[in-house]
Amino acid sequence: MPQQKLASVNKFKTKEALIGIVGLGYVGLPLMLRYNAIGFRVLGIDIDESKVSKLNAGQSYIEHIPADKITAARQSGFEATTDFRRVSECDALILCVPTPLNKYREPDMSFVIDTTNALKPYLRAGQVVSLESTTYPGTTEEELLPRVQEGGLVVGESIFLVYSPEREDPGNPDFETRTIPKVIGGHTPACLEVGIALYEQAIDQVVSVSSTKAAEMTKLLENIHRAVNIGLVNEMKIVADRMGIDIFEVVDAAATKPFGFTAYYPGPGLGGHCIPIDPFYLTWKAREYGLHTRFIELSGEVNQAMPEYVLSKLMDGLNDSGKALKGSKVLVLGIAYKKNVDDMRESPSVEIMELIEAKGGIVAYSDPHVLVFPKMREHHFELSSEALTADNLASFDAVVLATDHDKFDYDLIKQHAKLVVDSRGKYRAPAPHIIKA
C-alpha cells in the first residue's frame, strides 16, 4: 500500500501532521517544544495528571526548561492530556517513557508495554509509532510489533514502526534537540522512510540504520562506552590514591594528547537515567544467546562500589579527627546526579546519604537545584536543602562534595568546613582538611 506511505510522508513534509508525544519528561518535553517551534501541532499524552495540569497552565516542572517556553507552546496550539482516546487524532506517536531496572537489575519493560497496550485500541492506518526509550535489542520487534498489529493493521503497509533512541543531555548548553544527530531504524524500508520524514523536519541530521535492532544496539553502545570508561578511571582513581597520585592531574595531562585518548573523570558513582542502567539491558539480553558480557558487568561492579569508597574516605577523615561516623553531622553537597541540573534519577549522592545514615551518621544536604528532597520510588528523606553559610558549614563534622554544581561557593566551603571529602576533584591544591575521594 504505497499510497499510505506517500500520504504519511507528505503530511510530515507539509507540517499538516499532528505529533503525539507520549511521556512528557526530560525527553518528551524538549521534543514537544522543538516540534511546536517549527509549526507542528503537538499533543502531549501522559498518565500523570499533575504534569498535564501544569503544562496546560503554562508551567514547567523541569528546571532547565523555562515556563515561558511552555506558555508560548500553549499559545501556539500545544495541549497535554491524560485521555488516550485522543491517540487516534495523532499522525505520529513518539513514545518517551521510562525503562528502569527492577530490584534484580533486570529490565523493567512495564512502562513500554503498558503504554503500547494503552495506545493499541486507538491506533489507525497512516500512523507512525516511534519508540525512543532506551532498551535491549529486539524490543521493538518483540514487544511493539505484535501489539501494533493486533487490531489488523499491517506494519510497513497501513501503519509504520520505528525505533529512534533519545539522546538528550539535560543541562548541557552546547547541545539542543535540533543539533543532536538522530539515529533511526525502521521495521521495514517503508517504515524507515516515514520515520525519516517525521524526524528530518525537526532534527538537523538523521542517521538511518538497517533495522530497529541496530538502532537499539547503537544507543546501548554509546552508553556502555561511557560506563566502561568511567569504570576504568574510577578503578585508576583508587590505585592512584593508594600511590599518592592525584588522578585528576593525571587525566588532565593525558587529555593533552591530541589523538587516541578521551578524558573521562572519576566520581562518586554513576547517575542519571542512562549510564547506570542501560548496560544491564544488554547483559540481560546477551544471556538469552548464551553470552556473558564480562567487560560491562565488571565496570558496573566498579561504578556501583564508588559510594562505598566515598563512605570509607569519610570515615577515615573523621577517624583522623578522633570522631566516629556514628553521631557525626554530615552535609552532602549536591544530590542531583550531575552538576547544574535538578535531575535526581539514580543519583549516587542519595546512596551516599543512605550509607551515612545506616552507619549512624546524621545526614543533611545542600543543593541549589533541589530545594526539597523529592518523592522517589526507592529512596526517601524528609529533608530540605541547607543554606551554605559560614556558620552552617562550621556546624557540620564533615562535608561530602558529591555533585559539583557551579552555584556552590567553593572558597566559602573550603574556608569554613571542618572536613571536606571531595569526590569530584574540585580542590586540586592539597589542604590538611580536604580528602580526595
Q: Place 274 in a pLDDT band, splitting at 50, 70 and 90.
A: confident
pLDDT at 277: 82
Position 73 confidence tier, pLDDT thresholds 50, 70, 90: very high
Residues 260, 207 share a domain: no
Residue 230, in any domain of the structure: no
- Domain annotation covers residue 329: yes
Quick check: 6 pLDDT over 90? Answer: yes
Shared domain for 213 and 259, answered yes or no, is no
271 pLDDT more than 90? no
Q: Which of 171, 200, 217 is the last residue of a domain?
A: 217
What CATH number has the domain bearing residue 265?
3.40.50.720
Based on the domain organization, do 171 and 282 belong to the same domain? no
pLDDT at 16 over 90: yes
Whether residues 330 and 432 fall in one domain: yes
Q: Which residue shows C-alpha cell 524528609?
A: 382
- Percent pLDDT > 70 in the chain is 99
Q: What is the pLDDT, as a whole number, of residue 101? A: 84
Give the pLDDT confidence score for residue 105 in this predicted structure.
80
Average pLDDT over residues 99-115: 90
**Would you state the pLDDT for residue 392?**
97
- What mean pLDDT is predicted for residues 237-264? 97
pLDDT at 257 > cutoff 60: yes
User: Do both 213 and 270 map to the same domain?
Assistant: no
Looking at the structure, do residues 318 and 382 belong to the same domain, yes or no? yes
Domain, as residue range, for 77: 2-217
Beta-sheet pairing, 41-45 with 79-81: parallel
Cell 508551567 belongs to: 59
| Rounded CA separation 215/183 (Å) | 6
Asked whether residue 1 carries a pLDDT value surpassing 60, the answer given is no
Please check whether residue 275 lies inside any domain of the structure.
yes
- 210 and 356 belong to one structural domain: no
Q: Please check whether residue 223 lies inside any domain of the structure.
A: no
Whether residue 389 sits in one domain with residue 263: yes
Mean pLDDT of the chain: 95
Question: Is 186 contained in some domain?
Answer: yes
Residue of 90, 96, 191, 274 with catalytic role: 274
Q: Is the pLDDT of residue 208 over 70?
A: yes
State mean pLDDT over 66-72.
Answer: 96
Residue 274 among the catalytic residues = yes
What does the pLDDT look like over 163-201, one tens digit per residue? 999 998 877 888 888 999 999 999 999 999 999 999 999
Q: Report, as an integer, the average pLDDT of 384-411.
A: 97
255 and 322 share one domain: yes
User: What's residue 37's pLDDT?
Assistant: 95
pLDDT given at position 39: 96
Per the CB < 8 A criterion, the answer to whether 396 and 421 are in contact is: no
Answer yes or no: is pLDDT of 92 > 70. yes
Residue with more model confidence, 247 or 377: 247
Residue 8: what pLDDT? 93
Counting the structural domains of the chain, the total is: 2
In a domain, residue 233? The reply is no
Q: Please check whether residue 226 lies inside any domain of the structure.
A: no
Within a domain: residue 239?
no
User: Residues 6, 124: one domain?
Assistant: yes
pLDDT in tens, 326-361: 999 999 999 999 999 998 888 999 999 999 999 999
Residue 144 and residue 21 share a domain: yes
Question: 300 and 181: one domain?
Answer: no
Q: What is the pLDDT of residue 25?
A: 93
At residue 213's C-alpha, the angle toward residues 207 and 215, to 5°, is: 25
What is the pLDDT at residue 370?
96
Which of 193, 217, 241 is the last residue in one of the domains?
217
